[in-house]
Amino acid sequence: MSETLHPFDLLQQLAERCVRMAAGLPSQEVVAETWSGIGFRLAGQPMIASLGEISEILHEPRYTALPRVKPWVRGVANVRGRLLPIIDLSQFFGATSSAPRKQRRVLVLDRDEIFVGLLVDELFGMQHFPVSSFTTSVPDLPQQFRPFVVGAYTGEQVSMIFNFRALARDQAFLDVAV
């Protein structure tokens, strides 16, 4: 007569056999901690923004020009029933963008009573950097970016961390009237 085992005993035998067979497997390597952000090009400089600062990314929308504003204010766009001011960041920093319109993107900031679309030259998408490659000293940082860059991640290229909160508090940025 064949002896029947209880299902629990079968599971226990299976678990023991799995442990015996797995004894020679390599151990798991420790994964390096990473920081993630959204990469973009601004006035020819590679930048990254913290994920928490950008609420949305849009193609450059149609907008209506506004009278008596500084030239870097492109106008306002209707985005899902809300008026979104469109600011050309390259022009704000005194540079001209040579990027084609289809390549440009609008990074939308929507927090603390600031709702604005910032036009950048190019979007690189999500980027991940080892935390160990962070530095606060940014070599060859153009002067106009100094108040808004909080550090950089180094690697194949230096990607500067752009602080949009500092930009939103900057009086020159807030003063759009001519």
Q: Is residue 165 part of a domain?
A: yes
Q: Is residue 11 part of a domain?
A: no
Q: Is residue 10 part of a domain?
A: no
Q: How far apart are CA 58 and CA 23, in angstroms?
A: 51
Rg over CA atoms, the chain: 25
Is the whole-model pTM more than 0.85? no
How many structural domains are present in the chain? 1
Q: Is residue 52 part of a domain?
A: yes
Q: Is residue 4 part of a domain?
A: no
pLDDT, tens only, 139-151: 778 888 999 999 9
Q: Is residue 6 part of a domain?
A: no
Residue span of the structural domain in which 152 resides: 34-174
Residue 63: CATH number of its domain: 2.40.50.180
pLDDT, tens only, 110-129: 988 889 999 999 999 999 99
Q: Is residue 69 part of a domain?
A: yes
Q: Is residue 3 part of a domain?
A: no
Contact 106, 86 (CB under 8 A): yes
